Amino acid sequence: MSLRDHSLLSSKNDDADRPPLRLPDHLLYIIVEGVIGAGKSSLAKLLAERQGAQIVLEEFEDNPFLQRFYDDRERWAFQTQLSFLASRFRQQQSLHTRDLFHQATISDYAFDKDRIFARLNLSGDELQLYESMYTLMQPTTPVPDLIIYLQSSTARLMQNIRKRARSYEVNMQESYIESLNDAYNQYFFHYVQTPLLIVNATKIDFVHNVEEFDELIRQVSSLNHSGTTYYNPSPSQLPLL
């Protein structure tokens, strides 16, 4: 064995012996956000597994109006939105009683995101009623220590939506995802309430590529201010989801 080969082998062994990267202990409540198909649930699950953290996933499949909404958005938007608002509020209230067996909580949605959908899908008296209910609920929800926003192109979001092939998303219109993507970008580009990491997730693969996942954790660990940080990683060759 040459000296170079021995050096490479030693380096690999060192990597194998090194404990997996973890998030800083002071981040007790982290939210992963993004438009439909951005990979937020996948990343939240990976982070929770790596941290040994409690995972909170949005209960979107329990919404009895969701399929009808995608079939006829104008007809079922109000019922769908109120059902989501109630479900998300119930989940948020449960977070006040922290799981004693976990140090951290990772969620795949922010309560505030409900308002993004409402303003896109509702209008008139329905929007006013929604805003009244939201205004009463929002101040009682817990504030995250960090939000990770997975930003992606509409084309990539549609690719991921088609790939996972959920029954109620089969007829998802690209124009709706584009409008939603614009609304999310507008919201998070003006977000100032908590520390925010905006990740260009269009071409990375944190699910299958552990190096890219570890680099994302490094980016989170290096955050040293309460504002917004932008992370534009080098792309991998594998699909996001």
Show which residues are catalytic. 108
Q: And the tokens for 160?
A: 């991921």
**Cβ atoms within 10 Å of 133's Cβ, excluding its own:** 15
Q: Coil, strand or helix: which one is 167? A: helix
Q: Coil, strand or helix: which one is 227? A: coil
State the number of CA atoms in the 13 A half-sphere of 164 facing the CB: 18
Q: Report DSSP letters for 4-31, one per residue.
A: HHHHHHHHHHHHHHSPPP---TT--EEE
- 36 CB contacts (<8 Å, ≥6 apart)? 157, 161, 169, 172, 177, 180
